[in-house]
């Protein structure tokens, strides 16, 4: 840390060594007095020369000075300076500097509590820096995602003002405006949902309902899309499975996973949706027949606005899987993905058994 940083004006107590010196001198004097009291039967106090007594007092005076300097030095080195470094670093973090790092004073095998505090402080600052970066990236991505459809809407709305456009062109322009408006609405809706979920303003309301029926209805709602791509949609689920959970939140999960499977599957491919139950959990998996994902995409697929397949970036906004992850976290569920390049991806959702009612 920088030794030249001025003392924090909020610190009023300077830790005066004079008071410590007085206490030590009195303590040493008391020890001498006690010793003299013990030896009073063997010493003639009245015959002691005054020079001897003055010498004793001077001796303890210098001993008190040495002890005071020693204790004050140890206190400053082991407590005061580390706390000063910590206070200065905390102030820098409060001012927005997340590059702060405090080096531990000892090797790891000799750490004390001050070193542990420093290590935890460094971890905290690193996390705060990551959060700040994510927040900045989030706003940057939101601005970009909103600007794109708005630009499309503006450009095509201005094109509609041209008098010599054909009816077919006019119809295409209107359809493009409607599609961009729908994308913008979907983006804002997802942002609002994600914000409520992350700030715990939207709490799950658990009620019993038939999960198999919900899965079927969600799949059928996308029938037009999978039919348009000539996809085979294979469903392997139980006849009936009642689950106690928030139906509206889990619907977000299934809709996003099914729409992604359709979006990333090649024409005339196959989508398979399976649902099974075990003694400990309920499992739903959705497999597509797309191009698959590499390791980097698998690691980042739940990040906000991340879209691994840039060729289909115009079909979404990269918030769907972030929403899915947050919903499942609220329900103590898990989601995982396995993928093979050129063969497709399987997304597996697992929900703890306490949400399931057996029949």
For residue 5, is pLDDT > 50?
A: no
More confident residue, 149 or 310: 149
Q: What angle do CA 182, 186, 192 make, to 5 degrees?
A: 145
Q: What pLDDT, in 10s, does the model give residues 254-295?
A: 988 998 899 888 899 999 999 998 877 889 999 998 888 888
Q: What pLDDT, in 10s, does the model give residues 334-356?
A: 999 998 888 889 999 998 865 54
Residue 287: in which H helix or E strand, if any? strand 281-287
Tokens of 271: 């989508």
Tokens of 323: 């929403």
Q: Tell me what pLDDT residue 354 has.
A: 59
Q: Tell me what pLDDT residue 281 has.
A: 83
Residue 257 to residue 224: CA distance in whole angstroms = 16
Tell whether pTM > 0.85.
no
**Across all residues in the chain, what is the average pLDDT?**
78
Q: What pLDDT, in 10s, does the model give residues 184-209?
A: 887 677 677 666 666 665 666 778 88
Could you tell me the end-to-end alpha-carbon distance of the chain, in angstroms, rounded to an integer? Answer: 65
Q: Tell me what pLDDT residue 348 has.
A: 93
Q: Are 324 and 253 in contact (CB under 8 A)?
A: yes
Q: Tell me what pLDDT residue 1 has.
A: 44
Q: Tell me what pLDDT residue 318 has.
A: 60
For residue 149, is pLDDT > 70?
A: yes
Residue 128 to residue 134: CA distance in whole angstroms = 10
Residue 358 pLDDT level (bands cut at 50, 70, 90):
very low
């Amino acid at each position: 840390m920088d030794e030249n940083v001025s003392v924090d004006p909020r610190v009023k107590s300077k830790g005066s060594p004079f008071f410590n010196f007085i206490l030590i001198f009195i303590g040493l004097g008391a020890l001498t007095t006690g010793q003299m009291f013990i030896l009073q039967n063997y010493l003639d106090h009245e015959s002691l020369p005054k020079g001897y007594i003055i010498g004793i007092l001077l001796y303890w005076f210098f001993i008190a000075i040495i002890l005071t300097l020693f204790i004050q030095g140890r206190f400053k080195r082991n407590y005061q300076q580390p706390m000063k470094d910590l206070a200065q670093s905390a102030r820098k973090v409060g001012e927005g500097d997340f590059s702060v790092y405090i080096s531990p004073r000892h090797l790891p095998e000799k750490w004390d509590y001050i070193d542990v505090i420093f290590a935890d402080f460094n971890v905290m600052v690193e996390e705060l820096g990551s959060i700040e970066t994510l927040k900045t990236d989030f706003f940057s991505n939101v601005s970009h995602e909103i600007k794109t459809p708005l630009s499309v809407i503006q450009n095509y709305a201005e094109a509609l003002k041209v008098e010599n456009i054909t009816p077919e062109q006019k119809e295409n322009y209107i359809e493009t405006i409607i599609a961009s408006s729908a994308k913008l609405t979907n983006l804002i809706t997802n942002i609002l949902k994600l914000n409520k979920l992350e700030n715990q303003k939207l709490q799950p309301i658990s009620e019993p309902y038939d999960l198999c029926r919900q899965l079927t209805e969600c799949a059928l709602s996308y029938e037009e899309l999978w039919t348009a791509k000539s996809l085979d949609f294979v469903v392997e689920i139980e006849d009936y499975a009642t689950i106690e959970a928030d139906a509206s939140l889990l619907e977000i999960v299934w809709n996003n996973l099914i729409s992604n499977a359709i979006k990333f599957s090649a024409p005339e491919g196959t989508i398979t949706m399976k649902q099974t139950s075990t003694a400990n959990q309920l499992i739903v998996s959705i497999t597509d027949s797309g191009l698959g994902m590499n390791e980097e995409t698998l690691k980042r697929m739940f990040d906000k606005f991340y879209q691994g397949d840039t060729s289909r970036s115009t079909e979404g906004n990269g918030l769907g899987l972030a929403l899915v992850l947050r919903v499942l976290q609220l329900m103590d569920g898990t989601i995982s993905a396995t993928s093979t390049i050129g063969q497709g991806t399987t997304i597996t959702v697992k929900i703890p058994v306490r949400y399931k009612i057996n029949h």
